[in-house]
């Protein structure tokens, strides 16, 4: 059995939609964890110590938990330009809007044709 052209397109569309949903879910979880880490680190201690935002926000561990330490440049960029300005939330919301738009543009018409 060969898969028709229409089914190939729909499989591709479903895979793209699944990728967008996974990416948006990761961005949402990352945003919540990053804001929680930033709130805990900066409001309570004024530094993040050895905590990091990448690949996923993680609290300080071990001895450096109680030591004021310099942030690395990537974490500093994420904190100053993405968290403090609110751009991380905007990016997260934009990804979910993209998922909804892709669903309505690419997936929903396929189901309407098959009626």
- Note down the domain range covering 54: 7-113
**Overall domain count for the chain:** 1
- pLDDT of 69 strictly over 80: no
In the chain, how long is the greatest CA-to-CA distance? 65
Please check whether residue 98 lies inside any domain of the structure. yes
**82 in a domain, yes or no?**
yes
pTM: 0.77
Examine residue 1 and state whether it is found in any structural domain, yes or no: no
Per-range mean pLDDT, top range of 33-47, 49-63, 64-78, 93-107: 93-107
Average pLDDT of the segment spanning 74-82: 84
How would you classify residue 46: left for phi > 0, otherwise alpha for psi between -120 and 50, otherwise beta?
left
- Where does the pLDDT of residue 80 fall: very low under 50, low under 70, confident under 90, or very high at 90 and above? confident
Whether the predicted pLDDT of 16 surpasses 60:
yes
Residue 2 lies in a domain: no
Instruction: Tell me the sheet residues that pair with 52.
Output: 58
Task: Decide: helix, strand or coil at residue 25.
Answer: helix
């Amino acid at each position: 059995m060969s898969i028709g052209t229409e089914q190939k397109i729909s499989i591709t569309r479903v895979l793209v939609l699944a990728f967008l949903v996974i990416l948006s879910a990761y961005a949402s979880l990352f945003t919540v964890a990053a804001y929680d880490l930033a709130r805990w680190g900066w409001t309570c201690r004024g530094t993040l110590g050895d905590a990091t935002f990448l690949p996923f926000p993680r609290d300080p561990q071990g001895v450096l938990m109680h030591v004021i330490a310099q942030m690395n440049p990537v974490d500093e960029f994420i904190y100053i330009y993405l968290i403090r300005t609110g751009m991380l939330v905007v990016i997260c919301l934009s990804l979910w809007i993209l998922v909804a738009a892709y669903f309505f543009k690419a997936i929903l018409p396929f189901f309407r044709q098959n009626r």
